[in-house]
Chains A and B, each alone.
Chain A
């Protein structure tokens, strides 16, 4: 039933070795060292660091509170509001700065959550096989064919509460399947490795085998999956917020765009209000994509630059 996905389990062991080795020398996580060595990836990491920095220090960096609406509404960039103000009289720049928090939080939380779900489902299905696998695979495939955005819209629109965590939840439960599938196929190739057999003969328990023998050989896949999930989550949040399904009380780039769109930014010619969230968003996505390049190359030796 899984004939159709273009997923080839890539043997990532080679990469893991390099990662483990790199880690031993520097006491930082090995995958990080590997990523850092890749030029594209390094640029991405630096960009990401900037976003993280901005997000963490938002209260310090932002000139005003994001919801402080004490300014003249709907004015273009000027001395006190560098990017102008919203129709509600809020400072666009401050919203932009605080928006980084939301995007990163969503990316991190939804990325983690969907990675965890994907890992749990994928590992269970792949390691146990049999009926469990059949059932879980069915759900994986189901989740893959169900059109995600309509589902997200439905869930987000009909959930009893609005809020960032709802969005995170919705994104996670609609976005785990691809990762689960990749992980499942990877564990299927890994579980028949001789060293797994050896671990069984060494008397290790199944849980220990999964955690200590298999997982370390999947870190790059997990990292790739996590980055992919982050990208999807950040994009999903922006999309939902843009459609007005987000939480209007949280400041995110998506809600900014939504409010810029409905608040007449085009009408009043406030290009900065319209452009800035998009550019910030694209910047964060570029950072993550560049990092993903490195991670991809890490797990797929064919893609290494030479």
Chain B
């Protein structure tokens, strides 16, 4: 008997005034004692719902609509709350996705340990537990808001281990943390797991991390498990085309020539009845049967897979179906469109940016790489004229001192400097259509009439790959997928025909499977339209893919700069090294 047995589990959301959505559909799997299992899926794939069902934490309107969960012999789905309670935390604990909010804000960390022990009539030493996650015992006296995000997450982890559970469910435990911190915590987790021997279900959208951490990986797509294999086996041979696509989005940035895959399209709408393979619409190798026959999860390779082609042929190869190949020829020496010279910016006596110099050249991408707080965003504000440098200068082509621009001149300058934002959900006004969003810069900066602007907006949408444009012009943002929204954002940035594009983490909020697609689009636009682009990221891989030149920033200072490949292959600064190490790399892991 396995520790955790999930059998044909379905979870349905039935909102009072809406169509029910089957978020988890007939999922079955087992986890054995001490096993470290990864659960991989994009947003909306049902992975967190599955986690909540296992923990029996589903809240209305979600409810288990079929199947069962057994943990350590207890039928979790049908037992009463009182029967479950002894199980909770003593045997099955969890770390939630958002560490920011999973600790009670009004009682001390110590008290949160204490009530955990008290609830189960146990005693324990919280200090030792904190020590496990490399935290000082004085944290116990502190309140959650006094801790950093990383510390909170460590506390949450220590808390999860407090009663020496047999099983820990980790739901995106490090999302939102800085890469280096993320990396450290996961390392620690892995060590603890092998040391203490608890079983783990690790839920994540980040395939790299999952592959690196887990013994076995399950892949979820549109509410179903589509593949379940030991990590090692999966690494060498992914069964499902979806998994192949996901894995393809990773590469070693140190390679001289790299390419990453993407999977165009978006997951199906689960509020409608599903026929055939749910991935068929996005599958590069789908055959006719795929859209009519619903595949079963059948043994294949070293595990199981849900694919007709695998079923029939044993293996498919969907890799490199769609990929973005970064070929960085030596960039031509052209005059810079913007020059930043020894710029510094102070806030309340603290230097956010210190002595930074770089140029933006037409048709080329300059990447700023660093963690949050490294000063990347401040530099973006200097470049866009939102802030004026404390010392040094930002000069636009023709000798315009960007820092001194105000009013109409600043507006005129902004025509040439446009932004692509990080969060495509926040970057578009939820009440305004793409047609409106795009027509504003066209009317303001280019002086087009309303009708002209609309035509032009359509052309721009086509340019960013939203085809046919008429389908998108009058939609509201929430009717678009994340990738589509980001395309609209890019189209809006292109509208006034700028010289400079500042892209602040434009792909970090997108699903892994489509990131490369957006990168490819940006790459194309920069080269064909001869834009000077400032690409801001924490992710060296994407910088490697897109940028000609890279500046690594740490605490406001440039610690390393140069041609992208050179910097990456030949990292000198320890900080760059750390960033490189933090990249989960399932491909190169041996």
Contacts and interface: CB of A to CB of B under 8 A. Distances in A.
The answer to whether any beta carbons of A and B sit under 8 Å apart in the complex is yes
Interface of A: 13-14, 16-17, 20-21, 37, 193-195, 197-204, 212-213, 216-217, 304-306
B444 A37 contact: no
Given A203-B444, A204-B440, A213 B432 contact: yes
A306 B15 contact: yes
A198 B431 contact: no
B440 A194 contact: no
Nearest to B477: A17
B515 interface: no
B426 interface: yes
Given A20-B476, A21-B476, A194-B421, A201 B429 contact: no
Nearest to A306: B61
Interface stretch (B260-268, B312-320, B411-419, B542-550): B411-419
20 contacts: A17-B430, A17-B478, A20-B476, A193-B426, A193-B429, A194-B423, A194-B426, A197-B419, A198-B428, A198-B437, A201-B414, A202-B437, A202-B440, A202-B445, A203-B414, A203-B440, A203-B441, A203-B445, A204-B444, A306-B60
Given A193-B426, A304-B16, 19 more contacts: A13-B431, A17-B431, A17-B477, A195-B432, A195-B437, A197-B419, A197-B421, A200-B414, A201-B417, A202-B445, A203-B411, A203-B445, A203-B496, A212-B432, A213-B429, A216-B432, A306-B15, A306-B16, A306-B61
A192 to B, nearest CB: 9
Contacts of A306: 15-16, 60-61
B10 interface: no
A197 B15 CA distance: 35
Contacts of A204: 440, 444
Interface of B: 15-17, 60-61, 384, 411, 414-415, 417-419, 421-423, 426-432, 437, 440-441, 444-445, 476-478, 489, 492, 495-496
A198 B430 CA distance: 13
B152 to A, nearest CB: 21
Nearest to B411: A203
Contacts of B444: 202-204
Contacts of A304: 16
Nearest to A16: B431
Interface centre among A198, A200, A213 (most CB of B within 10 A): A198
Contact of B496 (A14, A200, A202, A305): A202
Nearest to A197: B419
Contacts of A195: 426-429, 432, 437
Contact of A20 (B384, B428, B431): B431
Contacts of B496: 202-203
A202 B441 contact: yes
Contacts of B411: 203
Contact of A201 (B384, B432, B478): B384
Contacts of A194: 419, 421-423, 426-427
A137 B404 CA distance: 31
Contact of B421 (A21, A198, A203): A198
Nearest to B418: A201
A247 to B, nearest CB: 42
Contacts of B384: 201
B385 to A, nearest CB: 10
A89 B38 CA distance: 84
Contacts of A216: 429, 431-432
A17 B429 CA distance: 9
Given A203-B445, A306-B15, A306-B61, A198 B427 contact: yes
Nearest to A305: B16
Contact of A17 (B60, B421, B437, B476): B476
Contact of A198 (B415, B422, B445, B492): B492
- Closest 10 A/B residue pairs (Cβ): A203-B444, A202-B441, A202-B440, A194-B427, A216-B431, A194-B421, A306-B61, A195-B429, A17-B430, A194-B426
Contacts of A37: 17
A201 B441 contact: yes
A91 B418 CA distance: 70
A24 to B, nearest CB: 8
A17 B441 CA distance: 23
B411 to A, nearest CB: 5
Nearest to B428: A195
A213 B430 CA distance: 9
Contacts of A17: 430-431, 476-478
A239 B418 CA distance: 56
Contacts of A305: 16
A217 B478 CA distance: 14
A200 B496 CA distance: 13
A249 B390 CA distance: 67
A217 B427 contact: no
A201 B489 CA distance: 12
A217 B426 CA distance: 12
A201 B420 CA distance: 11
A187 to B, nearest CB: 14
Nearest to B419: A201
A198 B419 contact: yes
Contacts of A203: 411, 414-415, 440-441, 444-445, 496
Contacts of B495: 202
Contacts of A217: 429-431
A119 to B, nearest CB: 17
A206 to B, nearest CB: 11
Contacts of A16: 430-431
Given A17-B478, A37-B17, A199 B440 contact: yes
A304 B17 CA distance: 10
Contacts of B477: 17
A198 B444 CA distance: 13
Contacts of A202: 437, 440-441, 444-445, 492, 495-496
A217 B419 CA distance: 22
Contacts of B430: 13-14, 16-17, 20, 217
A295 B440 CA distance: 31
A203 B431 CA distance: 19
B444 to A, nearest CB: 3
A195 B421 CA distance: 9
A14 B423 CA distance: 16
B353 to A, nearest CB: 19
A14 B419 CA distance: 24
Nearest to A199: B440
A295 B448 CA distance: 39
B416 to A, nearest CB: 10
Contacts of B418: 201
Interface centre among B411, B414, B430, B440 (most CB of A within 10 A): B430
A213 B441 CA distance: 14
Contacts of B429: 193, 195, 199, 213, 216-217
A79 B151 CA distance: 78
Nearest to A13: B430
A193 B489 CA distance: 14
